[in-house]
Amino acid sequence: MSQKIGLYAGSFDPVTNGHLDIIRRAAKLFDKLYVAPMTNTSKKYLFSYQEKKSFIEAEIKDLQNVVVVDGKSELSTDLARKLHANFMVRSMRNPDDFGYESGVASINRVLDKNIETIFLLANDRYATISSSMMKEVAKFGGNISEFVPQAVALELIKKLRKD
């Protein structure tokens, strides 16, 4: 039987506790899970690929079957094919995410019919947070320590206070 290999791709700018919860839960479903900070051309990023990779790796070092890979310059389906991933992991925080995520899954299915999309619903505790929201709250001095890892919170404050 072939290995179950998943790819969880996202912008992770910054990674939140919600993303990390999805990674931990997805790691239980697959023999190997790749996590890939990717490029979304409609977003302006605050963190570099290396910073995002470091934040994620620091938080998942106990997960032996999870590897962070570079996906910044390609389609997620191309990366999945390269990694022999037969599943894409996508998450939904709320009903508003369904339309967008089902569209992504449909496009991915057209691009590669051999890759199945698996949706994980966000833990209720994290269902209201997004990376964009964390940047906004941090920019105006709000406490984000419940929503992102401590290293992320500190770096967010440092970067946003420069402006």
Contact 4, 31 (CB under 8 A): yes
Residue 12 counted as an annotated binding residue:
yes
Tell whether 127 is in a known binding site: yes
CB-CB neighbours of 2 under 10 Å? 7
Largest CA distance in the chain: 54
Catalytic residue among 52, 53, 91, 131: 131
Full strand arrangement of the beta sheet holding 66-68: 66-68, 32-37, 5-10, 87-92, 116-121
Query: Rounded to whole angstroms, what are the CA distances from 22 to 33, 130, 134?
Result: 11, 13, 17
The one catalytic residue among 19, 52, 53, 91: 19
- Catalytic residue status for 19: yes
Q: Contact at 8 Å (CB) between 23 and 91?
A: no
Q: Is 129 annotated as a binding residue?
A: yes
Q: Considering the candidates 61, 93, 113, 161, report the single residue annotated as catalytic.
A: 93
Tokens found for residue 51: 């910073």
Q: Is 116 annotated as a binding residue?
A: no
Question: Which candidate in 43, 82, 84, 158 is catalytic?
Answer: 43
Q: Is 81 a catalytic residue?
A: no
**80 annotated among ligand-binding-site residues:** no
135 is in an annotated binding site: no
d(CA 105, CA 114) in angstroms, rounded, equals: 12
Return the residue matching tokens 């505790």: 125
Say whether 48 counts as a known binding-site residue: no
Residue 90 marked in a binding site: yes
130 annotated binding-site participant: yes
101 known member of a binding site? yes
- The catalytic site residues sit at 19, 43, 93, 131
For the annotated binding site for ATP, the residues are 11-12, 19, 101, 126-132
For the annotated binding site, the residues are 11-12, 19, 43, 76, 90, 101, 126-132
For the annotated binding site for substrate, the residues are 11, 43, 76, 90
